Structure 1
Amino acid sequence: MISVVVPTLGRPSLAVLLDALAGQLDTLPEVEVLLVDDRGGHEGGELAVPGALAAYTKVLTGRGAGPAAARNLGAAAARGSWVVFLDDDVVPAPDWARRLVDDLAVPAGVGGVQGVVEVPLPADRRPTDWERGTAGLAEGAWITADMAYRRSALAAVGGFDERFPRAYREDAELAHRVRRAGFALRRGRRRVTHPVRPEGRWISLRTQRGNADDALLRRLYGPRWRGELELPPGRRPRHVAVAAAGTVALAAAGLRAATGRRWPAVAAAVAGAAWAAGTAEFARARIAPGPRTADELATMLVTSALIPPLAVAHWVRGWRRARAVGAGDVVRAARPGAVG
């Protein structure tokens, strides 16, 4: 049996996903769909399941604790030897189920198989910063937009670490533990489309919360955590430098106003120039590949100034919280027995 687990917040995209699955699951020998309603009781209404899927589908009630916990709940209820995780905003290709069967015909030592994720971008203009960020999913390794794991592999490592509350890094961290447990991971040929969902202009500020999760990974895996988890380098060192320059400039300007001395003015000018140069470099890197509309330019200028201190603040918050975790304390799961 194959178990398809979909954590959801009840977004409209879920109906599109279920409609795409409805016409093809009857081609699988044995299959079940487990929808984990992770709204945490804050929103009313039941999840609508197409009639063609009703016989296959079971709805579970999550705790509103994030996608890692929701996926663990689904995996714990799964009866299949393979558990396929899909995000609720992807659209499986018409031949997804058929190709899934082929993808899962792998040797016993393979613990997981990732599907191909395609992100459609506008054909008539350059993509925005948010669209480019979403497009990065197409190059991501072992992302749970479409990732199948042997149930035995999940059980061996205890599933997702529920200390990661966001859809950020929790899938890469699980993949690392699965490989460290001796399982291989492969890329398959089945395909899903991941449309770029509409977001407000300040979405890049909200996504900086993921820096707190990076701090936890640093605590768990040490200073080389990015290499160990095969993650690309980030901009945090530059964010720290820019945020520090801005802080020094403001402090020196305040000291100049309070004392009237000349040297704080010189320090404020030097630090302010460093802050301006760093902010301009960051803004230019984000603006150059984009559509360069007036709205996008304004958004990039404002957020490029705010992101460095915000990213550092979230990192510090995460690091303070992570201090309660022993260095290298990689648990099997936040809730023992979450997957068994």
Structure 2
Amino acid sequence: MALSSPAHEALMATQLPFLPQLSVVIPTCRRPDLLERCIHALLAQEGIHGELEIVVVDDARTPACKDVVRGYTLPLMSVRLRCIHPPAGACGPAAARNAGWRAAHGAIIAFTDDDTLPDPHWLAEGLRALTPGTGAVWGRVVVPMPEHPTDAERNTGGLHDAEFITANCFVRRDVMRRVGGFDERFKRPWREDSDLYFTLLDAGIRVLPAPAAVVVHPVRDAPPGNSIRQHRNLIFDALLYKKHPRLYRQKISAGPPLHYYLVVLAGLMLLAGLLTDTPGLCVAGALVWLALSARLAVRRLRGVSHHWLNVSDIVASSLIIPFVAVFWRLAGAWRYRVPFA
């Protein structure tokens, strides 16, 4: 894409209407370096005919986002790039994406994240897959992985096989209006895309894969204990289950994690033994807890890096994860008044 001067672009903006076929929505929150990298990849798109709009939604409302956007001199009228904020009081990726597609002008909305690198043919392939009668498509997310990844890297690698995630999907604007967009009760980047997907399916809207529409999602370092912190997202699994119980059981989880509940039961046995000074109960509870935790740790250690820091993190977190997971699942069941376990 050739560059033009800001003055020439402003002059052309007063003379020609801007009628994009496609708008790209990118939510961002305090990651200007990643955002700039993503925008660079979008400006290198090939095979797109007509005008393109890029709407960056700054959930943090910081000057850094506007500084990144202002740093680009765009090609004549073929691309328009702007930064907006969600409405006052709204927060989270679902609210940011809603603000983005509602402010956009394109008949087709492409969603991605600020930490992705869209392939040069991403938009062209997504549009090609969105055939007449198809309301939405999802593309392929490629996660470059080392031969022996860390636990956090492997978790990110799970995006490769995911259906319909907001790092790579295309939805017709009239379809978004029909279903009301994203449910803003999903305050964290977790399950808001599954909820939209299930809502589309429940509404009888045709949703198809578009494997040729590729974005790359590089892995990033995560601090020790990140696997424990990530389990607080499970509170939103309860909301997703409440809204779409059949699809949740079909596509997310066929049933509750019974082994986690057994670990919690063993922990309660150990605690009861300590409180009642019953050594047999203490020993039984401790043995069951350690055995099930060891089983979990062994499963998580398969195929990952055996660096001592990664191994120690997996072993230590395996002792804690079942308790944290059960807590957040039950917290979600209580918050959303749904029999979710």
What is the root-mean-square deviation of aligned Cα atoms in Å?
A: 2.1
Q: Secondary structure at the match of 1:51?
A: coil
| SS of residue paired to 2:135 | strand
Give the TM-score, by structure 2 length.
0.85
CA contact 2:198–2:247 (8 Å) conserved in 1: no
Letter in 2 for 1:65: C
State yes or no: 1:91 paired with 2:117.
Answer: yes
Describe the superposition over 1:268-291 as per-residue Cα deviations: whole angstroms up to 9, x where unpaired.
211211111110001111112211
Which of 20, 45, 67 matches 2:64?
Answer: 45
Deviations 1:267-326 (A, max 9, x none): 221121111111000111111221111111110111111111111111222222112x8x
Q: Which amino acid aligns with 1:203?
A: N
What corresponds to 1:214 in structure 2?
Answer: 237
Indicate the residue corresponding to 1:34 in structure 2.
55
- After superposition, give the CA deviation of every residue in 1:162-191 in whole Å (9 maximum; x if it has no partner): 111111111111111111111111111111
- Once the two structures are superposed, residues 210-268 of structure 1 have per-residue CA deviations (whole angstroms, 9 ceiling, x without a partner) of 1111122233334x55224x224577322121122112212212210xxxxxxx22122
Kept in 1, the 8 Å contact 2:198–2:244? The answer is no
Tell me the residue number matched to 2:11: none
Structure 1 pair 35–178 and aligned structure 2 pair: CA distance change class (3 A): same
Name the CA distance, whole Å, in 2 between partners of 1:234 and 1:306. 21
CA deviations over 1:147-176 (Å, ceiling 9, x no partner) = 001112111111111111111111111111
Which of 186, 190, 203 is residue 226 of structure 2 equivalent to?
203
In the other structure, the counterpart of 2:296 is: 282
> Which of 20, 24, 29 does residue 4 from structure 1 map onto?
24
1:116-137 per-position Cα deviation (integer Å, ceiling 9, x unaligned): 1100001xx4111111111110
CA gap of 1:202–1:233, structure 2 versus 1, over 3 A, is farther
Measured after TM superposition, the shift of residue 28 of structure 1 is: 3.0
1:166 is the counterpart of 2:188: yes
Aligned to 1:78: 104
Corresponding residue for 2:5? none
Query: Could you say what secondary structure the match of 1:276 adopts?
Result: helix
Structure 1 pair 64–132 and aligned structure 2 pair: CA distance change class (3 A): farther
Give the letter aligned to residue 76 of structure 1. Answer: R
Distance (whole Å) between structure 1 residues aligned to residue 318 and residue 132 of structure 2 = 47
Distance 1:120 1:203 in 2: 20
Matched with 1:68 is 94
Pairing partner for 2:201 from 179, 182, 185? 179
Deviation at 1:64, TM superposition (A): 6.0
Q: Please say if residues 46 and 120 of structure 2, whose CA atoms lie closer than 8 Å, have aligned partners that are also in contact.
A: no
The structure-2 alpha-carbon separation of the partners of 1:53 and 1:66, relative to structure 1 and needing over 3 Å to count, comes to farther
Deviation at 1:17, TM superposition (A): 0.6
CA distance in 2 between partners of 1:227 and 1:145 (Å): 23
| 8 Å Cα contact 1:33/1:58 also seen in 2 | yes
Displacement, 1:101?
3.1
- Following TM superposition, by how much is the alpha carbon of 1:100 offset from its aligned partner in structure 2, in angstroms? 3.0
The equivalent residue for 2:325 is: 311
With normalisation by structure 1, the TM-score equals 0.85
**2:311 partner letter:** L
Counterpart of 1:144, as a letter, is: T
| Count of residue pairs brought into register by the alignment | 310
d(CA) in 2 for partners of 1:298, 1:151? 47
Distance in 1 (alpha carbons) for counterparts of 2:75 and 2:100: 17
- In structure 2, list runs of 5 or more residues that go unmatched: 1-20
Gaps of 5+ in 1: 257-263, 328-340
Instruction: Work out the CA distance in 2 between the residues paired with 1:64 and 1:152.
Output: 23
Change (3 A) 1:32 1:206: same
Corresponding position of 1:146: 168
- The secondary structure found in structure 2 opposite 1:27 is coil
Q: Conserved in 2, the CA contact under 8 Å of 1:249 and 1:269?
A: yes
1-side partners of 2:95 and 2:275: how far apart? 47
- Whichever residue aligns with residue 143 of structure 2, its letter is V
Residue aligned with 2:64, SS: coil
How high is the sequence identity, in percent, across the aligned residues? 34
CA–CA separation in structure 2 for the residues paired with 1:225 and 1:300: 31
Contact 1:286/1:300 (8 A) holds in 2: yes
Structure 1 position 44, deviation (Å): 4.2
1:193-272 equivalence runs, <5 A: 193-222=216-245, 224=246, 226-228=248-250, 230-233=251-254, 236-256=257-277, 264-272=278-286
Distance 1:317 1:94, change over 3 A: same
Query: Cα deviation per residue 1:12-47 (whole Å; 9 max; x = unaligned)?
Result: 2111110111133793312211100011x4x44343
